[in-house]
Amino acid sequence: MFWNRIRQIIYAALTVIGLVWTNYYLVEFTITSKGELTLANFLNFDLGLFIEQVGANPASSFIGVDVTIAALCGITLIVAEGRRLKMKLWGLYIVAIFLVSFGFGFPLFLFMRERKQMEMLGLAEESKSINDSSPQT
């Protein structure tokens, strides 16, 4: 149980960091490409330019491909674990990956997965203690 809690804290922190840090650079991109940060400029996001700049040099191409492969692995895990653990609304974590970032959606899924596992473990421990206290015949 202790390590489940530690993992939850780590995943929660990474979720917040993934939200703030990735969006900081998205805001910087918007300011650089549009001249200023306004709601209209942010909503009129230039996806073509963004993708072009991801491949601007070998270093950024490496990061782009690396994150893409990690995201595909993460999505596969979300589908498999979400279904196996019967998590509610597990598809929303995939939507979060595409709408916000992999650095936000994946740690959020891992955080919720730990909570679900603890919930299942708690139920298993309760039923075990009930079975152990019932009279044996």
* DSSP string across 68-122: HHHHHHHHHHHHHHHHHTT-TTTHHHHHHHHHT-HHHHHHHHHHHHHHHHHHHHH
36 half-sphere exposure, CB direction, 13 A CA radius: 3
pLDDT of residue 93: 98
pLDDT of residue 22: 94
Structure tokens given for 88: 């509610």
Domain range summary for the chain, segments of one domain joined by +: 2-118
Average pLDDT over residues 117-127: 72
Does the pLDDT at position 124 exceed 80?
no
Polymer length in residues for the chain: 137
pLDDT of residue 136: 53
**Any idea what the Cα angle at residue 109 is, between residues 105 and 114, rounded to 5°?**
150
Greater confidence (123 vs 106) lies with: 106
Rounded Cα gap, residues 33 and 93, in angstroms: 29
Q: What is the pLDDT of residues 75-112, one digit of tens each?
A: 999 999 999 999 999 999 999 999 999 999 999 999 99
92 with 102: CB under 8 angstroms? no
pLDDT of residue 122: 82
Q: What is the pLDDT of residues 25-78, one digit of tens each?
A: 999 999 999 988 888 988 888 889 999 999 899 999 999 999 999 999 999 999
